[in-house]
Amino acid sequence: MGEDGTAGTLFEGGRIYTDAASGAPCTALAASGGHIVAVGETGELRARFPQFTRMPLEGRTVLPAFTDSHIHLAGFGFSLRDVDLRGCPTLGDAVARIAAAAREARPGAWIRGGGWDKNLWPEGRFPRRDDLDPVTGAHPVALRSKDGHTAWVNSAALALTGITRQTPDPEGGVIVRDTATGEPTGLLAERAVHLVFAVAGRPGPADVEQAVQDASAVLHRAGIAGAHVMEGGDVLAACQRLRGRGALTLRVWMTIPEESLEAAAGVGLRTGFGDAMLRIGGVKIFSDGALGSQTASMLEPYDEQADNLGVVVRTPEQLRTLIGRASACGIAAVVHAIGDRANRSVLDAIEATPRAADGTALRHRIEHAQLLHPQDTPRLASLGVIASMQPIHCTQDRDIADRYWGARSRGAYAFRSLLRCGTRLAFGSDAPVETPDVLAGIYAAVARKRRHEPERPAWYPEERMTVAEAIQAYTEGAAYASGEERIKGKLLPGYVADFVALSRDPFAVAPDELPEIQVALTVVDGAVRYSASSASGSSSDSSPVRSSSRNSSASTG
């Protein structure tokens, strides 16, 4: 038995970095009761814990397990089963894939899916219901764009949803209409998307649970032990049921949708409520749209679109009201902002917001923070606002950023500038918009170029990060963003026993070799949740973790 009489596991024979900034690695880690009880050298820990079960690490590099700081967990799980349009090079290819799904679907069943990206298509236009109707017939179809901010639907879906030319645009949303007839084209933007997905075959509780479990299994293959989840009450309820049965294997920090803010405040929920497996996060608020749909809110018009300043989902006044209300109730603000005008409006609202009523200093966050005006870059650090960013968006979006933002892209995905100002960074994936592959994200942050374009120059290379800084954003930065830096993000006694073992040392390889590193082992709460040695083909490049289209349109939210 161990020093206090408890059983445990001694993970030995590895290169164990207690954090991304640590110096010489140690070789062994002892875990018991879901927590780390000691780190040190193998011989020393064998002597201290002679009865602990020994698990060889076989020389692999061990780091604190990763946290995905921005993911749509159930959405990612469902995406593994839905019609996948990612990477379709033309509109015609997308229609053909949908036609195949319609032929296999039972009569009248909804066809759901997404991942289409009109920025890839030589047709050079958004899709319409006229493209879908000939191949889908009576099947209602609802297909989210890759950035999640636009839906492409057919006539059957519009009829079931009750959307006609007389239907007014919802607040913060747009029903795109034919300029000649006024009829809906089959494209819904921002909050108008909810009109169709509210009736598009909403999954039941068991379906949501299965989606969470399916997604968790893929995340464990990526070395991920925790996730900051940007979804609604149905996903929180599913996580609670799984937690009650001991079937929740991923640590979840769950945001509150803004429409549920008053209900949460009414029952006294606050950011941080819960335990180390399932915890309440902040209130998720949308300020604007996305780059891919050209709905991100801009200070100046998009290049090539002189009349387009994007979509303001929440006005500056509404942001101040929502953030102020949340803060007064002890709930942090978690605000989606892509464009430079949206980011400025969020910073202005946070600056105008006093501390919580009890004096608590809440850790407000901006999700994505993709384009910052140079005057606003230092404000995140000065206001204590966390930049929750997704480095994979930087490389995947570089072409459309250059196309629609032009020279303003110098302030896009400004990792180094934000760090220089002292901003706390927390990294994630925005899956299912992008792959949850953390090594791909680290490569994007360090190299600022795409893996399949090794000869192409880095995009604004002055904004590159070091490997250690990128890993910190997936570990310590994520833990700080959820208020858990005293129990997560490092491998020290008293911290949770969450770690990842890698096939190679990321600190010792050239940047272009980072994507080749494989996850060999993922441990959560002291239990092995993924082992490459016992998973058939799980670490191949064809897996959902490693797959990623060549261009992106961030972001879902």
Q: Is residue 136 part of a domain?
A: yes
Number of domains in the chain: 1
List, for residues 88-124, the tens digit of each pLDDT value.
999 999 999 999 999 988 888 889 888 899 988 998 8
Q: Residues 459, 431, 500, CA angle at the centre, nearest 5°?
A: 90
Give the residue carrying structure tokens 């020994």: 54
**pLDDT given at position 480:** 98
pLDDT in the model for residue 3: 59
Q: Is the pLDDT of residue 28 over 90?
A: yes
pLDDT of 549: 38
With CA atoms as reference, report the closest residue to 367 among 392, 346, 383, 388. 388
93 found inside a domain: yes
Say yes or no to pLDDT of 1 above 50: no
Query: Residue 189: inside a domain, yes or no?
Result: yes
Is 275 inside any structural domain? no
Buried b (16+ CB within 10 A) or exposed e, 185-222: bbbbbbbbbebbbeebeebeeebbbbbbbbbbbbbbbb
Q: pLDDT: is 6 or 324 the higher one?
A: 324
Least confident of 115-129, 266-280, 461-475, 528-542: 528-542
d(CA 269, CA 283): 11
Q: Is the confidence at residue 2, as pLDDT, over 60? A: no
Position 556 pLDDT exceeds 60:
no
Q: Which secondary-structure segment (H or E) carries 557?
A: none
In a domain, 176, yes or no: yes
Query: 147 lies in a domain?
Result: yes
Question: Is 228 inside a domain boundary?
Answer: no
> How does DSSP assign 14-46, residue by residue?
EEE-SSTT-SS-EEEEEEETTEEEEEE-HHHHH
For 210, the 3-state DSSP assignment is: helix
> Tell me, what CATH number does 161's domain have?
3.10.310.70
190 in any annotated domain: yes
Judged against a pLDDT cut of 60, whether residue 187 lies above it is answered with yes
Amino acid at 325: R
pTM of the model: 0.86
Average pLDDT of the chain is 92
As a whole number of angstroms, the distance between CA 48 and CA 35 comes to 16
Sign of CA dihedral 532, 533, 536, 539: positive
- Residue 104 domain boundaries: 73-197
Amino acid 541: pLDDT: 37
Q: What pLDDT does residue 544 have?
A: 58
Q: Which of 344-348, 399-403, 535-539 is least confident?
A: 535-539
d(C-alpha 446, C-alpha 403), whole Å: 23
**Mean pLDDT value across residues 274-299:** 96
Any idea what DSSP says for residue 424?
A: -
